[in-house]
């Protein structure tokens, strides 16, 4: 029976060993290994052979995909959740189970090693948009709501204010875009960025993301960028990220 795996020190060591060879495409695995956020599940709490890490709609597998526990985990996949990087055998077993319902799509990784604070500051200075730092009053309005600012992986608004960081743009009192830390671990943050349809191609995404990434550099935190579309790739390169190639992720059709 699949059960949540308590994130004790020993269990996190076991998870680290299980996920050692799983490619890191974002910081989700580290978030769980460091007990910052997210959850882990196993087929047997005492002697696990199959492991799943899950944060929001993203999940990652390790261990034995062929055994009864691994098969039970695969049968529990929900439509449209994102099957990310996993150890050998999991994608193949999932394909056997779901066939053409399992859809592959491309995502893109970037390195932050060449980011320049001076370049990011120039991008901010050249923008005419008023970018504001998120505060608790704003986040209280969107907490628990269907909104593009989704900080649900934090425990609360106060938890985000203590551990997270974000910036937003507004027009006539309406939030029209935001860039913020959707995930946090020791090494840094995972960036989420959104601009409403009516306000795209106006430089808002550039101003928001430059402000957030610049803050990360000033505070010695890695700003991790994982892109899901060509527009996000182009913006990453404009900011100074270096492409490290694409990878395949998957989702399940109903």
Interval 164-223: pLDDT, tens: 999 999 988 889 999 999 999 999 999 999 999 888 888 999 999 999 999 999 999 999
| CATH code of domain 113-224 | 3.40.630.30
As a whole number of angstroms, the distance between CA 59 and CA 81 comes to 8
3-state helix, strand, coil in the chain (%, to 5): 35, 30, 35
Q: How does pLDDT run across 26-82, given as a tens digit for each residue? A: 999 999 999 999 999 999 999 999 999 999 999 999 999 999 999 999 999 999 999
| Nearest by Cα to 211 from 116, 109, 115, 123 | 123
Provide the residue ranges of all domains of the chain, joining segments of one domain with +.
3-107, 113-224
| CATH code of domain 3-107 | 3.40.630.110
Q: How does pLDDT run across 37-46, given as a tens digit for each residue? A: 999 999 999 9
Q: Is 23 left (phi over 0), alpha (psi -120 to 50) or beta?
A: beta
Sequence-ordered list of residues with C-beta below 8 angstroms from that of 167, at least 6 positions apart, any chain? 131, 132, 133, 134, 178, 179, 180, 208, 211, 212, 215
Q: What angle do CA 209, 212, 215 make, to 5 degrees?
A: 145
Q: What angle do CA 176, 81, 95 make, to 5 degrees?
A: 145
Half-sphere exposure at residue 219, Cβ-oriented, CA atoms within 13 angstroms: 16
Q: 79: how many CB neighbours lie within 10 A of its CB? A: 9
């Amino acid at each position: 029976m699949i059960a949540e795996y308590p994130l004790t020190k020993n269990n996190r060591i076991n998870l680290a060993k299980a996920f050692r060879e799983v490619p890191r495409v974002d910081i989700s695995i580290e978030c769980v290994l460091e007990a910052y956020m997210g959850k882990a599940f196993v087929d047997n709490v005492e002697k696990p052979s199959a492991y799943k890490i899950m944060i929001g709609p993203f999940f990652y597998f390790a261990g034995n995909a062929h055994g009864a526990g691994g098969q039970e985990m695969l049968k529990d996949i929900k439509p449209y959740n994102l099957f990310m990087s996993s150890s050998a055998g999991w994608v193949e077993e999932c394909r056997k189970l779901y066939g053409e319902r399992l859809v592959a799509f491309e995502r893109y990784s970037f390195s932050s090693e060449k980011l320049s604070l001076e370049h990011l500051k120039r991008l901010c200075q050249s923008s005419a948009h008023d970018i504001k730092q998120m505060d608790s009053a704003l986040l209280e309005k969107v907490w628990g709501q269907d909104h593009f600012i989704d900080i649900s992986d934090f425990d609360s608004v106060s938890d985000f204010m203590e551990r997270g960081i974000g910036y937003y743009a507004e027009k006539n009192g309406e939030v029209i875009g935001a860039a913020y830390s959707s995930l946090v671990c020791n090494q840094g943050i995972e960036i989420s960025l959104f601009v409403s349809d009516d306000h795209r191609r106006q430089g808002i995404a550039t101003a928001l993301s430059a402000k957030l990434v610049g803050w990360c550099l000033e505070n010695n935190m890695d700003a991790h960028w994982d892109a899901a579309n060509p527009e996000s790739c182009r913006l990453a390169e404009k900011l100074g990220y270096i492409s490290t190639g694409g990878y395949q992720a998957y989702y399940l059709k109903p």
